Homo-oligomer: A and B are copies of this chain.
Amino acid sequence: METIKTIPEMKQWSERARGSHRTIGFVPTMGSLHEGHMSLVQKSVSTCDVTVASIFINPSQFGKNEDLDTYPRNLEGDRRLLETAGVDVLFLPSPQDMYPEGYKTFVTVEGITGHLCGQSRPGFFRGIATVVVKLFNIVRPHTGFFGDKDWQQAAVVETLLRDLNIDATIKRMPIVRDADGLAKSSRNLYLSKDEMTPARSLSRALELARHQVQNGQFSAERIRREIRQLIEKNKAAHIDYISICDPDSFIEQDEIKDESLIALAVHIGKTRLIDNCIVRREKCKE
């Protein structure tokens, strides 16, 4: 596995790969890799000629009081995982090269970023959209791989690629969970032993909601109330949002439709966790 640290070298590598008609798969990450990331890497390695993974803790997507400084870092561990998985290039740009002094240009996606995490974290999706455009212009992948845990992020990326006529598609992969259902996240490393039970309440609440829908409960208000009750049994849990919404527009729904997204963001102590699932009304009619 080659490690590339500068933007011109990365561009040159991609130009050569494209010139020799190899398809480039790209997995952009902030490092501290877990099984969720690795499912993206494996999909890329198995479906594209060459795979580039990037590790870049993108300052422009963190708010002022968020965890940019403490975000977990594990470069040597990450490197071993990527090498073993068959990644061709690890791209490690520096914040100074990505956002040099005098940096001025930002990409915004309107509408869909006004909901869920876009509402809780102002500037978050602007940071995501901007860094994705930059990374895609540098790496020039044919396919980018994104996880469904960050469902809204994947939707934002799909939208901007289409709108800005960027020649790449994205492949979304399902959420990876531990044996107890907790969605894999780099931020799980923040959780103390006492916080594991409250952290698991997110996936348990989604499981409960799914059962309710299967049993014919379609009222978003009632499902939301059940989710709230289950999560708030844990004193360490503070709900940011419980959303039952359209999975493309993120507009809230009064009742479960043919396809609805149930998305949660919950603070467990100082750690903000997200999780989601899709529920379908018609499946329950079977």
Contacts and interface: CB of A to CB of B under 8 A. Distances in A.
B110 A164 contact: no
Contacts of A106: 107-108, 110
A171 interface: no
Question: How extensive is the interface on chain A, given as a class?
Answer: 20 to 34
Q: Assembly of this chain: how many copies? A: 2
Interface stretch (A32-40, A50-58, A133-141): A133-141
Contact of A105 (B7, B11, B160): B160
B167 A105 contact: no
A210 to B, nearest CB: 29
A7 B166 CA distance: 11
A105 B137 CA distance: 16
Interface string A104-147: 11111111100000000000000001100110011000000000
B105 A159 contact: yes
A137 B109 contact: no
A92 to B, nearest CB: 16
A163 B166 CA distance: 16
A11 B165 CA distance: 9
A134 B7 contact: no
A103 B112 CA distance: 11
A242 B270 CA distance: 52
Nearest to A11: B167
Interface in A129-183: 129-130, 133-134, 137-138, 159-160, 163-167
26 contacts: A7-B165, A11-B167, A103-B163, A104-B109, A104-B112, A104-B159, A104-B163, A105-B107, A105-B110, A105-B159, A105-B160, A105-B163, A106-B107, A106-B108, A107-B108, A107-B164, A108-B108, A130-B164, A133-B164, A134-B163, A134-B164, A134-B165, A137-B164, A137-B165, A137-B166, A138-B165
Interface of A: 7, 11, 103-112, 129-130, 133-134, 137-138, 159-160, 163-167
Given A104-B109, A137-B165, A137-B166, 11 more contacts: A7-B165, A11-B165, A103-B163, A104-B110, A104-B159, A105-B108, A105-B109, A105-B164, A106-B108, A134-B165, A138-B165
